[in-house]
Chains A and B, each alone.
Chain A
């Protein structure tokens, strides 16, 4: 199932790699990605679309656990899903 995330990351070294690493390790593939550096906020603003067989809500929680992540929001309703 697909999911669309809006992520703000501190612009620390390897922040983007960490984000993409979590997406891959947790079983999702990136279907669309754009990242802009916001100098004023010292952050990357990432628009991220993913696809995978697992529950996107769990991926959202894993992304939120990254130290560099300030916010992670779902754009639009996530598909209804059972994660079991």
Chain B
């Protein structure tokens, strides 16, 4: 057995059933070994597609996703996806080929210092020097990717090591599950005291909840206590989107109800959150009157940006169950729910053009609870977050921390490959889809029934919106009016497509998207001038929301009876 064969045996021991990748010179021994393995390899058409597909698998299942690339450009094409996994705490193992050990440091063909390049964007990385180390490295890599705060791990394998003979064997059995440490009893007692004294508590829950498998515990905690709850982008679905106590997403494109509740609360209960700037706005004005109870598995997050009054590190389920109570907060709850009703989104735009928020609200109503939504990045991503009622956070895949355009389509491929019977929809924009459109070939090759909902405004909409609001409407490099015919592109890959441009076409088109067997692209033309509201300007606090829909409406999203367009330009504010 050689090193590459040993590597594949080790992956099998880790119960890896599928990998995504792209072959090349230095990784050829591994691709040869794959031929004799039950592991299914999915050939993407770019390494970035492979790493985002591995992420899609990992985000939707909670298991470790695996991608493979060759040395040099193969490895560097993984970089965005690895960084993305680091920012959003996604467990992946990226295996890269490397030039032979004797050529390391000689500027050899397709040599790049993968260990050095990836150092700031991985949980850990290995350059294997000895073939007999492969079993230990693979076990350690999967263990590190999965346990604690999840994240990406890189294994760089020189070609000579891959070809070296070995008698080493994989480590028996898969990695053992380890529970995180229980919360400190003294801190728990202090947390109970905070909860007992609180009169205006709010739960602020994020992506760490699902990663800790604490969704049910959070729901018990929120339901028993009747706690108003807001979510980060990654937390959406932890408390179901249609739950009365859920006030919406907080932050830059959050709801008025969510941001007002956080601003007014006297106890902020952060669960699996990292006080990200898109959630907090101006940090010094975030929840200014609140004591903070912060629960997280990563000690480096506790106090990183906001000093907690009480910090609980470790097992979220244990902590939430231990803190479940029934506080007397009826008046506060009524106030939060009144705000939720008062500032609810409106969908009664009377125009012929497609109103993207309404389309997404309708999709949410028509799709079943198990549908996976894989977003790209931009306005459509925020509209999904605002208007799609997620029932579980693992059904919502979105590049939150890094904000990587091009994430959605390959992520959907990763989900669909793992869950062939699931409905998987990539919601994308005309900017984002072009970032990895080559992966339509992957969908076609593996007969994956991925649905694509393309909201096309012929522009880089979010950048255009910011230029309109914060750069005196001076549009720079955002026009995409020369987009190709997306329907023709889709059909060229063997994927049926339909194009719509009127609101009255939406119901039938969504029905077709959801019920047509196999893959399909639905191309919806929307208004170029549509903006995402509300919006907290950069540097402002979360109470300073721009929300022209509350007073007047732009033509493209004006509900019946509303007055004319009024945008609120602010000069001198920069991201």
Contacts and interface: CB of A to CB of B under 8 A. Distances in A.
A25 B144 contact: no
A71 interface: no
Contacts of A31: none
Interface in B261-276: none
Contacts of B299: 61, 64-65
A83 B299 CA distance: 14
B120 interface: yes
Nearest to A12: B126
Contact of A67 (B124, B298, B307): B124
Contacts of A73: none
A67 B300 CA distance: 14
B125 A14 contact: yes
A58 B115 contact: no
Interface string B282-326: 011000000000000011101111110000000000000000000
A13 B144 contact: no
A17 B303 contact: no
Interface in A13-28: 13-14, 17-18, 21, 25
B306 A84 contact: yes
Nearest to B304: A58
Contacts of B302: 61
Interface string B15-29: 000000000000000
Interface in B115-159: 115-116, 119-120, 123-125, 127, 129, 144
A14 B115 contact: yes
Interface in A38-77: 55, 57-58, 61-62, 64-65, 67
Contacts of B129: 13
Nearest to B125: A14
Contacts of A82: 307
Interface residues of B, number: 21
Contact of A55 (B124, B144, B303): B303
B300 A58 contact: yes
Given A61-B300, A84-B305, A13 B119 contact: no
A61 B302 CA distance: 9
Given A13-B115, A17-B116, A65-B298, A58 B123 contact: no
A65 B301 CA distance: 11
B206 to A, nearest CB: 18
Contact of A83 (B120, B123, B307): B307
B292 to A, nearest CB: 9
Most chain B CB within 10 A, of A17, A18, A25, A64, is at: A18
A6 to B, nearest CB: 18
Nearest to A82: B307
B115 A57 contact: no
A84 B307 contact: yes
Contacts of A18: 119
A67 B305 contact: no
Contacts of A83: 303-307
A82 B115 CA distance: 35
A64 B284 CA distance: 27
> Most A CB atoms within 10 A — which of B115, B283, B304?
B304
Given A13-B115, A17-B119, A65 B306 contact: no
A59 to B, nearest CB: 9
A25 B120 contact: yes
Contacts of B298: 65
Contacts of B115: 13-14
A65 B120 contact: no
A64 B299 CA distance: 9
A21 B119 CA distance: 8
A71 to B, nearest CB: 14
B240 to A, nearest CB: 32
B300 A21 contact: no
Given A13-B115, A61-B299, A84 B120 contact: no
15 contacts: A13-B127, A13-B129, A14-B119, A14-B127, A55-B304, A57-B303, A58-B300, A58-B304, A61-B300, A61-B304, A65-B298, A65-B299, A83-B306, A83-B307, A84-B284
Given A57-B303, A67-B123, A84-B307, 17 more contacts: A13-B115, A13-B127, A13-B129, A14-B116, A21-B120, A55-B304, A61-B299, A61-B300, A61-B302, A61-B304, A64-B299, A82-B307, A83-B303, A83-B304, A83-B306, A84-B283, A84-B284
